[in-house]
C-alpha cells in the first residue's frame, strides 16, 4: 500500500514502524542530547523502510547499486539487519527525519556494517546523524563487535567529513568508494 504523500501522514507513519519501548512503556531513544521533538525507533518494517528510501531516492539511492531494487533492498535489510529511524514528533513535520540501517548480527566476523545512512535535508545540522550513529555504536558494542564499518562514495564530501569527525578512518578504497572503520574497542567516546 503506497501513500502518495510520503511518510508525512500520521496513519502511515504508525503503520511503517515497529517500535521499541523501555520498561516504563516510553519509546526507546539514544539517551544522547536528542534534538527536541526527535525520537529514535528501532526496526522499521519493510514498508516503512521502502517508503523512506523511495521518498529520498534523488538524495540517496543505495538500491541503485544492487540488483534488488528498493523493495528487495528494504526486504533484505528488515529480514537480516536492523534499522534505526529518527522520527520527528512535530505536528507539522511528523515523519521520519533520517535512518541508519545495517547488519549487527554476526559478531564472529568482528565488525558490524552500516548499509544505509541518511538524514532528510530539512533535518540536517540538528545532530540527528550523531544520534543515529551513537545508537548503531551502542547496538554494535552490546552484540560484541570490535568495529563498525561502512562504505561512502568518494564524491560524498559531507558524508566523509561527518565520518572522519565522528572518528572513522579510511581502511580501503575502490574506484568509487572509501571503506571506513570505527574501532569500538579502543574508542569509547563516540563522536569525540
Domains annotated on the chain, with CATH: 6-146 (3.40.630.30)
* 149 and 114 Cβ atoms separated by less than 8 Å: yes
**Starting at the edge strand that comes first in sequence, how are the strands of the sheet with 177-183 ordered?**
38-42, 82-88, 95-103, 111-119, 147-153, 177-183, 169-173
Question: CA torsion sign, 157 to 163 to 169 to 173?
Answer: negative
Asked if residue 111 has pLDDT above 80, the reply is yes
Average pLDDT, the chain: 78
How does pLDDT run across 128-154, given as a tens digit for each residue? Answer: 999 999 999 999 999 999 999 999 999
The most confident of the ranges 10-14, 92-96, 118-122 is 118-122
Which residue, 31, 8, 23, 35, is CA-closest to 134?
Answer: 31
Summarised one tens digit per residue, pLDDT across range 15-54 is: 344 434 333 333 344 344 456 789 999 998 999 898 888 8
pLDDT score of 117: 94
Amino acid at each position: 500500500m503506497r501513500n502518495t504523500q510520503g511518510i508525512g501522514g500520521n496513519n502511515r507513519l504508525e503503520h511503517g514502524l515497529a517500535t521499541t519501548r523501555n520498561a516504563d512503556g516510553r519509546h526507546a531513544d539514544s539517551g544522547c542530547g536528542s534534538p527536541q521533538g526527535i525520537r529514535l525507533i528501532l526496526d522499521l518494517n519493510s514498508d516503512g523502510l521502502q517508503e523512506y528510501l523511495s521518498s529520498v531516492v534523488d538524495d540517496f539511492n543505495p538500491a541503485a547499486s544492487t540488483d534488488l531494487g528498493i523493495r528487495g533492498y528494504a526486504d533484505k535489510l528488515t529480514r537480516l539487519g536492523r534499522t534505526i529511524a529518527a522520527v520527528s514528533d512535530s505536528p507539522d513535520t511528523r515523519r521520519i527525519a533520517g535512518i541508519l540501517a545495517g547488519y549487527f548480527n554476526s559478531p564472529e566476523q568482528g565488525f558490524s556494517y552500516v548499509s544505509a545512512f541518511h538524514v532528510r535535508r530539512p533535518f540536517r545540522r540538528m545532530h540527528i546523524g550523531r544520534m543515529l550513529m551513537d545508537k548503531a555504536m551502542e547496538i554494535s558494542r552490546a552484540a560484541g563487535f570490535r568495529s563498525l564499518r561502512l562504505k561512502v562514495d568518494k564524491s560524498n564530501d559531507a558524508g566523509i567529513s561527518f565520518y572522519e569527525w565522528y572518528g572513522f578512518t579510511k581502511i580501503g578504497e575502490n574506484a568509487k568508494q572509501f571503506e571506513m572503520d570505527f574501532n569500538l574497542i579502543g574508542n569509547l567516546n563516540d563522536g569525540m
